[in-house]
Amino acid sequence: MNENLLKIAEKLISTGSLSTTEYEFLIDNRNTEIAEILKNEAVKKRKEVYGNTVFIRGLIEISNICKNDCLYCGIRASNKSCDRYRLTKEEILSCCDEGYSLGFRTFVMQGGEDLHFTDEILVDIVKSIKEKYPDCAVTLSLGERSRESYQKLYDAGADRYLLRHETADEEHYSKLHPNKMSYKTRMECLKNLKEIGYQTGCGFMVGSPYQTTENLAKDLKFIEEFSPEMCGIGPFIPHVATEFRDFSSGDVELTCYLLSIIRLIKPTILLPATTALGTAEQGGREKGILCGANVIMPNLSPHSVRKKYELYNNKLISGNESAQEIENLKNSMKNIGYEIVTDRGDIKEN
Ligand code: 5AD
């Protein structure tokens, strides 16, 4: 084993902090032996904080209408073949109803940047969910909004907000997004969310087009410095109706390696084994949990719209991905030594 590599790994394990160059070295020199070491240490840390529990979130995909045109995304505005839909308040509440009886205590409302969802409309929905289910957390994942808007939604009762930073490198960001979108705005949004008091989640795709090891190292440094409560990472998976159709998918092993590293950077972080990870490889989410992830977000959207929320091709929508199959998911977690719990699943701060 490369002595330098081991030294850097030990530094990460004991301090949770490396320089960008050291992160880069750790990624570039990845081998099965070092991956195993980091995985074991990551699991040890997650068990100290969360035991063998796995938190679940009911994911409600409220709209696939989006004003943005992110080059990687299947629901980008310019995809004319996307069959658009938007859920009504009643439909969203009935998803929550079903989710609550299935044991979900967090509802994630995710959607494209759909201008229909004004502050007024969202405030009303968030308030209604919180009134009906005061013991549940509401997470929003609705893209970039003004600080005032984030504040209003927070005041209405929203607890958490997910907004992936996508890449912590400005130049790389510009290769993944149209000119209208900016890295600075994205970072500003994340800062606002945190300042307002949301449990805030960032995240990125592994193996996105033009991504370099240095980009990934910057992502890790960003996570270390921003210290988000949540972080969603998953492999990039191409969608045929995007310019990135011919790029290859991100690597599952690298994604799992990064999950372990992120757990070591911040032992308390809420870290999902994502749908993309499960889509890229059968058993991918179990692998993610075994590498230090502690959250799973099954799909709670109405069955009739699931196929339409296609961020990437072949996105899992049935089997253990489906909230209705929670018993199967519980069993598959049990088989690897973990237990799904009925809990809001807030971050355990030190
Ligand atoms: N492959 C993997 N993940 C994707 N996302 C969007 N498009 C893709 C894709 N083609 C991710 C983005 C976004 C989140 C909702 O889904 O990181 O923030």
d(CA 82, CA 80): 5
How many Cα atoms are found within 13 Å in the side-chain-facing hemisphere of 234? 21
User: Whole-structure pTM over 0.85, yes or no?
Assistant: yes
- Residue from 312, 313, 315, 316 whose mutation best tests the ligand 1 pocket (most atoms within 8 A of CB): 312
| pLDDT in the model for residue 321 | 85
Decide: 238 and 245 in contact? Cβ < 8 Å.
yes
**CA 3–ligand 1 middle distance (angstroms):** 36
pLDDT (tens digit per residue) in 13-33: 999 999 999 999 999 999 999
- Ligand 1 within 6 A of 237 CB? yes
For range 90-118, the mean pLDDT: 98
Mean pLDDT of the chain: 97
**CA 205–ligand 1 middle distance (angstroms):** 7
Q: CA nearest 246: which of 28, 71, 77, 75?
A: 71
Q: CA nearest 233: which of 178, 264, 190, 270?
A: 270
Q: CA nearest 243: which of 71, 79, 67?
A: 71
- Residue from 205, 208, 246 whose mutation best tests the ligand 1 pocket (most atoms within 8 A of CB): 205
pLDDT (tens digit per residue) in 285-314: 999 999 999 999 999 999 999 999 999 999
- Residue from 206, 311, 314, 316 whose mutation best tests the ligand 1 pocket (most atoms within 8 A of CB): 311
Nearest CA to ligand 1 atom 13: 164
| pLDDT in the model for residue 349 | 83
- Ligand 1 within 6 A of 100 CB? no
- Ligand 1 within 6 A of 173 CB? no
| pLDDT in the model for residue 337 | 98
**CA 311–ligand 1 middle distance (angstroms):** 6
- Ligand 1 within 6 A of 108 CB? no
- Ligand 1 within 6 A of 280 CB? no
- Ligand 1 within 6 A of 338 CB? no
For range 313-322, the mean pLDDT: 90
- Ligand 1 within 6 A of 234 CB? yes
Which atom of ligand 1 is least distant from the CA of 204?
17
Model confidence at 350: pLDDT above 70 = no
**CA 117–ligand 1 middle distance (angstroms):** 21
For range 102-123, the mean pLDDT: 98
| pLDDT in the model for residue 318 | 86
Q: What is the largest CA-CA distance in the chain?
A: 59
How would you write 5-34 as a 3-class SS string? HHHHHHHHHHHCCCCHHHHHHHHHCCCHHH
- Ligand 1 within 6 A of 183 CB? no
For range 201-229, the mean pLDDT: 98
| pLDDT in the model for residue 323 | 87
pLDDT (tens digit per residue) in 144-187: 999 999 999 999 999 999 999 999 999 999 999 999 999 999 99
Q: CA nearest 115: which of 185, 67, 182, 181?
A: 67
**CA 131–ligand 1 middle distance (angstroms):** 31
- Ligand 1 within 6 A of 73 CB? yes
Nearest CA to ligand 1 atom 2: 236
Nearest CA to ligand 1 atom 16: 311
- Ligand 1 within 6 A of 205 CB? yes
Residue 266: band (very low, low, confident or very high) from pLDDT cuts 50, 70, 90: very high
**CA 237–ligand 1 middle distance (angstroms):** 8
pLDDT (tens digit per residue) in 55-99: 999 999 999 999 999 999 999 999 999 999 999 999 999 999 999
Could you tell me where the DSSP H helices lie in the chain? 3-15, 20-28, 32-50, 89-102, 119-132, 147-155, 170-176, 183-196, 213-226, 252-265, 275-280, 284-290, 303-306, 326-335
- Ligand 1 within 6 A of 163 CB? no
Task: Please give the C-alpha separations between residue 156 and each of 159, 186, 192, in angstroms, as whole numbers.
Answer: 9, 23, 16
- Ligand 1 within 6 A of 297 CB? no
